[in-house]
Amino acid sequence: MPLVFATHNHHKLTEVKAILPQFIESLSLNDINCHEDIAETANSIEGNAQLKARYVFKNYNLPCFADDTGLFVNALNGEPGVYSARYAGGQKNAQANIQKLMQNLNHVQDRSAYFKTVIAFKTQNEEKIFTGICKGEITKTPSGKSGFGYDPIFKPQGYTETFAALDANTKNQISHRSLALQKFIDYLK
């Protein structure tokens, strides 16, 4: 079953393709010649995921799923949240985002946080939402070379290493994105 995954993010596409079963053929936005940067203007990650899925379906008439992810830090009242990718500005610079978050958490004891991914699925006849949450904490220093975004500073609950230090197989079993994807896969079965 071919489905468009509404992303230009190579890291995210690789991670998702590693989790999806073979019966789901995943096409990227580049595969369908969609080179637009789909605006994420909603005030929630649910809304942003829906905007992307609806955009692809409306303009390309293809079944689509889209995701949006936010990192929610309890001591910062949920920041960066829906603005996670643009926390340090519109350039979507992961290093700058990490640096800003670390500065905002300087001298803060409660470093608890969670990642939340929402997948929006859109076809001619349906629209569904699937959510995955991974609780953990923000480390005081980055560690690990894998992953992307905030992975070097997020240590999932029950683990001693950050997402960036865990092997891809372990991360793909416990991450927020994999939990949302598993719900989506179960629905498609």
Task: Mention every residue, 6+ apart, whose C-beta is less than 8 A from residue 157.
Answer: 134, 135, 136, 137
**Nearest CA to 182 among 125, 117, 124, 113?**
117
| Catalytic-labelled residue, pool 31, 37, 67, 68 | 68
- Name every residue whose Cβ is closer than 8 Å to that of residue 13 and which is 6 or more positions away in sequence: 5, 7, 26, 28
> Is 68 labeled as catalytic in the residue annotation?
yes
Q: How far apart are CA 134 and CA 93, in angstroms?
A: 23
In a 13 Å sphere around the CA of 72, the CA atoms on its Cβ side amount to 17
d(CA 90, CA 88): 7
Residue 37's φ and ψ, nearest 5 degrees, are: -90, 100
CA dihedral 10, 149, 132, 4 (to 10 degrees): -20
Q: Which amino acid is at 152?
A: P
Q: List active site positions.
A: 68
